């Protein structure tokens, strides 16, 4: 902050790169220099602390809780320590009311106050009997912290957010103590090792009853990592989602009336659920009494329309013929034909069919509606009559329907719940991709009615116990698959014995009789005598030098030894440690043999033992792999069969192969007497030999 105080000077600036003050004897000490020392120390400490903490990080205590009663929310903040402006500042407790609706930032107000000797007389010089007694000296900068919420009336100072409260619920906050630099290192490691986006526990999403056309969900408490950052939710939280459907218009969808005349017709629409119902057009039959015009050949208008056809015209006992006596013209009975007609001014009954349009069905639900079979209508002369649906006629419906789609409920790195709207499709909507900075908690399958459901498909951390159980199930599955393939191969592949002749391609030991001891070995598609191995430990008396000369012998000439390898170069020498200044070397233990390379086999055949002496990977020239490959070629067919060996297992031996191990201990100085020698914790006998 900038301090405005008379006779106060502070020339400190980080851009000057001043490391320290160099005071010189004989020069006057300036008050500005003392102020600069304080500013430099505070700046240096703040720069280091800002690497570890952020403003608003809780260092201890300072818990926040809320109580909701009626329409008020009471927030209680306990005393504790919070990192603010480069220092850990103790804050006294406070209870205050906050708005119940909305996202509220609760934090600390820092009030900077300059205190002089006028506000606090104790700041005057207390040195009694001195010339400067009770004279003014340095002033003080006082920083007072207090709890509050952002925008609180009557608060002054600089606000630093610590907690977020949404609709009276305190959002997640990493518990103290927290070191920002360490948290960043852990987050980076988690992103690189585990991906950084997963649910550790809880956070199950449940759908609640809708509220004011909004979908309401409950997200349980739990722990997750978003971008490697740990998010802890100590309690459940409600999510209100204004999920407006994407509607698609359908015009004049036809449906045939399948009930008797005058009965109610239930219609199941082709698309559901219904978002907005439009016009329903149905063909109905009605009888109306008309008064013939004042002159012959007049046209009498029918009240309802549009008219599809005139069914009958009757006056007393007379029934007029259509097309001879009258015709339909523009929703009117046209008497201009040459046939008979009623007397002018007389009345007659006309029965006709017309198209009735309405937007208020008898019943309506998500998937369809019910059209009233008989309705009451008003015709000429303010007369009431009934109009009926006709069997076999067509009902056309205009409506909007809500297309299905998938939405996401996710969480960001701040622990806030967000929704991701998908793209609606009338046939097969797709689940939208989760943004890279969000953790998906659940998928909302929007069917806009009872069919809407929540699928909790977030990535969850799998405990080690479950992983071990999965491994055991995989092992069991592999064993079942192997047995199934073996049974399938036995029934499908060509039999080994044909017409009394037994054939074996000698690829492995599958076709050999396991009940009989096999003394031959199969190696490189050859049946060779098996090798029974006996392990011997051969030891030389000491270091041996091989003769690099070769004796050349022929039948006629025996020549001298021929030198094959020679070293004609000579190297010099230089004492590395001419004064022999080194500590005594520790004792040296040599084991004979030092390493046991032998592998034990439990088998009825000698093939694995034989391969130990000349083992190399054999690649089939055709398939270029190390799987056994069989090609049987005849004059008529060419058969290619792949055989995979099933049932070979490699396990660690429960007990090591017992062998005799000898040891030699050297390098002990004069006077060092061995009392006990132990090998793998067991005491062994030894014979001490003095050189």
pLDDT digits (tens, 9 = 90+) for 363-409: 888 889 999 999 988 888 788 889 999 999 999 999 999 999 999 99
Looking at the predicted structure, is the pLDDT value of residue 286 above 50? yes
Token digits for 48?
């280091």
pLDDT digits (tens, 9 = 90+) for 248-285: 999 999 999 999 988 999 999 999 898 889 999 999 99
How large is the average pLDDT for residues 52-61?
Answer: 87
% of the chain at pLDDT higher than 70: 83
Q: How confident is the model at residue 616 (pLDDT cuts 50, 70, 90)?
A: very low
Produce one character per residue of 168-185: b if its CB has 16 or more CB atoms within 10 Å, e if not: bebbbbeebebebeebee
- Burial class of residue 516 in the structure, from the number of CB atoms within 10 Å of its CB (0-12 exposed, 13-18 middle, 19+ buried): exposed
* Residues 24 and 63 placed together within one structural domain of the fold: no
Q: How confident is the model at residue 554 (pLDDT cuts 50, 70, 90)?
A: very low
Least confident segment among 233-247, 351-365, 561-575, 598-612: 598-612
149 and 106 Cβ atoms separated by less than 8 Å: yes
Looking at the predicted structure, is the pLDDT value of residue 689 above 90? no
- What's the CA angle centered on 446, arms 440 and 450, to 5 degrees? 125
73 and 168 Cβ atoms separated by less than 8 Å: yes
* Residues 42 and 86 placed together within one structural domain of the fold: no
Residues 27 and 36: their CA atoms lie apart, in Å, by: 17
Q: How confident is the model at residue 636 (pLDDT cuts 50, 70, 90)?
A: very low
419 and 408 Cβ atoms separated by less than 8 Å: yes
* Residues 396 and 409 placed together within one structural domain of the fold: no
Looking at the predicted structure, is the pLDDT value of residue 212 above 60? yes
Average pLDDT, the chain: 82
Instruction: Kindly report the backbone phi and psi dihedral angles of residue 544, in degrees, each rounded to the nearest multiple of 5, phi listed first.
Output: -120, 145
Specify the long-range contacts of residues 66-69, CB closer than 8 Å, at least 24 apart: 66/98, 66/165, 66/168, 66/169, 66/170, 68/100, 68/168
In a domain, 537, yes or no: no
366 and 272 Cβ atoms separated by less than 8 Å: yes
* Residues 284 and 361 placed together within one structural domain of the fold: yes
| Cβ contacts of 442 within 8 Å, gap of 6 or more | 205, 408, 409, 454, 455, 456, 457, 458
In a domain, 149, yes or no: yes
How large is the average pLDDT for residues 647-664?
Answer: 67
* Residues 300 and 410 placed together within one structural domain of the fold: no
In a domain, 486, yes or no: no
Residues 303 and 569: their CA atoms lie apart, in Å, by: 128
| Cβ contacts of 65 within 8 Å, gap of 6 or more | 75, 76, 170
Instruction: Kindly report the backbone phi and psi dihedral angles of residue 39, in degrees, each rounded to the nearest multiple of 5, phi listed first.
Output: -60, -40
* Residues 397 and 409 placed together within one structural domain of the fold: no
**pLDDT number for residue 112:** 92
In a domain, 99, yes or no: yes
Nearest in space to 78 (alpha carbons), one of 56, 94, 59: 94
pLDDT digits (tens, 9 = 90+) for 523-544: 877 888 888 777 777 776 777 7
**pLDDT number for residue 608:** 65
* Residues 364 and 446 placed together within one structural domain of the fold: no
In a domain, 490, yes or no: no
**pLDDT number for residue 451:** 82
Range of 331's domain? 248-402
**pLDDT number for residue 440:** 93
Q: How confident is the model at residue 211 (pLDDT cuts 50, 70, 90)?
A: confident
**pLDDT number for residue 148:** 94
Give the H or E element holding residue 216.
strand 215-219
Structural domains counted in the chain: 4
In a domain, 469, yes or no: no
* Residues 346 and 431 placed together within one structural domain of the fold: no
pLDDT digits (tens, 9 = 90+) for 319-361: 999 989 999 999 999 998 988 989 888 999 999 999 999 878 8
Looking at the predicted structure, is the pLDDT value of residue 498 above 60? no
pLDDT digits (tens, 9 = 90+) for 420-470: 999 998 888 889 889 989 999 999 999 887 788 999 988 998 888 888 999
Question: Is 671 in a helix, a strand, or coil?
Answer: coil
Give the H or E element holding residue 182.
helix 180-194
Residues 523 and 616: their CA atoms lie apart, in Å, by: 11
* Residues 271 and 373 placed together within one structural domain of the fold: yes
Greatest C-alpha distance within the chain: 156
- Give the length of the chain: 691
What is this structure's pTM? 0.56
Q: How confident is the model at residue 632 (pLDDT cuts 50, 70, 90)?
A: very low
In a domain, 120, yes or no: yes
* Residues 23 and 134 placed together within one structural domain of the fold: no
* Residues 328 and 420 placed together within one structural domain of the fold: no
Q: How confident is the model at residue 1 (pLDDT cuts 50, 70, 90)?
A: low
How large is the average pLDDT for residues 640-647?
Answer: 44
**pLDDT number for residue 479:** 86
Residues 368 and 679: their CA atoms lie apart, in Å, by: 87
Question: Is 510 in a helix, a strand, or coil?
Answer: coil
* Residues 360 and 393 placed together within one structural domain of the fold: yes
In a domain, 378, yes or no: yes
Looking at the predicted structure, is the pLDDT value of residue 124 above 70? yes
pLDDT digits (tens, 9 = 90+) for 156-205: 999 999 998 888 888 777 666 666 677 788 888 888 888 889 999 889 99
Residues 169 and 155: their CA atoms lie apart, in Å, by: 23
Residues 369 and 349: their CA atoms lie apart, in Å, by: 33
Q: How confident is the model at residue 675 (pLDDT cuts 50, 70, 90)?
A: confident
**pLDDT number for residue 541:** 72
A 10 A CB-CB count for 397 gives: 24
């Amino acid at each position: 902050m900038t301090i405005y105080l008379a006779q106060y000077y502070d020339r400190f600036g980080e851009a000057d790169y001043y490391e320290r003050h160099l005071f010189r004897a004989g020069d006057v000490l300036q008050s500005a220099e003392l102020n600069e020392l304080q500013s430099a120390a505070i700046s240096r400490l703040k720069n280091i602390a800002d690497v570890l903490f952020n403003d608003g990080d809780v260092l201890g205590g300072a818990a926040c809780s809320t109580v909701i009663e009626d329409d008020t929310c009471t927030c209680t903040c306990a005393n504790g320590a919070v990192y603010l402006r480069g220092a850990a500042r103790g804050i006294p407790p406070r209870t205050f009311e906050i708005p119940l609706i909305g996202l509220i930032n609760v934090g600390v107000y820092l009030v900077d106050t300059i205190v002089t000797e006028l506000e606090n007389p104790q700041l005057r010089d207390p040195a009694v009997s001195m010339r400067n007694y009770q004279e003014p000296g340095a002033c003080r900068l006082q920083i007072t912290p207090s709890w509050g919420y952002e925008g609180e009336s009557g608060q002054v100072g600089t606000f630093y957010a610590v907690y977020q409260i949404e609709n009276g619920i305190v959002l997640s906050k990493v518990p103290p103590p927290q070191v920002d630099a360490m948290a960043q290192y852990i987050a980076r490691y988690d992103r690189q090792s585990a991906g950084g986006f997963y649910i550790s526990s809880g956070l199950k999403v449940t759908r609640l009853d809708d509220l004011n056309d909004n979908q309401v969900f409950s997200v349980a408490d739990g722990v997750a990592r978003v971008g490697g950052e740990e998010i802890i939710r100590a309690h459940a939280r409600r999510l209100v989602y204004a999920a407006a459907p994407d509607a698609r218009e359908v015009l004049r969808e036809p449906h045939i009336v399948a009930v008797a005349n005058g009965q109610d017709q239930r219609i199941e629409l082709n698309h559901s659920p219904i978002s907005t119902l439009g016009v329903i057009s149905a063909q109905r039959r009605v009888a109306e009494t008309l008064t013939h015009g004042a002159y012959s050949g007049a046209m009498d208008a029918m009240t309802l329309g549009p008219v599809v056809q005139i069914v009958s015209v009757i006056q007393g006992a007379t029934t007029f013929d259509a097309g001879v006596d009258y015709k339909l013209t523009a929703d009117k009975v046209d008497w201009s034909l040459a046939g008979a007609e009623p007397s002018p001014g007389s009345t007659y009954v006309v029965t006709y069919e017309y198209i009735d349009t309405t937007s208020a069905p008898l019943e309506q639900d998500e998937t369809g509606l019910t059209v009233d079979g008989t309705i009451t209508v008003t015709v000429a002369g303010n007369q009431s009559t009934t109009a009926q649906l006709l069997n076999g006629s067509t009902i056309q419906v205009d409506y909007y329907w809500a297309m299905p789609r998938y939405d996401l409920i996710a969480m960001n790195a701040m622990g806030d719940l967000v929704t991701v709207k998908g793209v609606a499709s009338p046939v097969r909507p797709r689940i939208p991709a989760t943004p890279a900075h969000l953790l998906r908690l659940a998928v909302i399958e929007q069917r806009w009615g009872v069919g809407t459901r929540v699928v909790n498909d977030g990535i969850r951390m799998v405990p080690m116990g479950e992983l071990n159980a999965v491994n055991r199930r995989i092992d069991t599955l592999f064993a079942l698959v192997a047995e199934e393939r073996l049974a399938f191969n036995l029934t499908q592949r060509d039999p080994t014995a044909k017409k009394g002749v037994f054939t074996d391609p000698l690829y492995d030991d599958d076709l050999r009789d396991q009940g009989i001891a096999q003394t031959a070995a199969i190696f490189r598609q050859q049946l060779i005598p098996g090798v029974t191995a006996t392990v011997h430990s051969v030891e030389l008396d000491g270091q041996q030098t091989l003769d690099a000369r070769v004796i050349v012998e022929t039948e006629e000439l025996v020549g001298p030894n021929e030198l094959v390898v020679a070293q004609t170069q000579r190297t010099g020498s230089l004492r590395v440690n001419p004064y022999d200044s080194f500590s005594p070397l520790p004792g040296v233990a040599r084991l004979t043999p030092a390493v046991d390379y032998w592998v034990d086999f439990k088998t009825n055949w000698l093939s694995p033992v034989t391969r130990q002496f000349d083992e190399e990977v054999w690649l089939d020239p055709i398939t270029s792999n190390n799987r056994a490959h069989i090609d049987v070629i005849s004059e008529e067919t060419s058969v290619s069969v792949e055989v995979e060996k099933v049932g070979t297992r490699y396990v660690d031996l429960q007990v090591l192969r017992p062998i005799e191990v000898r040891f030699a201990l050297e390098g002990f100085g004069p006077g060092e007497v061995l009392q006990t020698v132990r090998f793998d914790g067991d005491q062994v006998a030894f014979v001490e030999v003095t050189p």
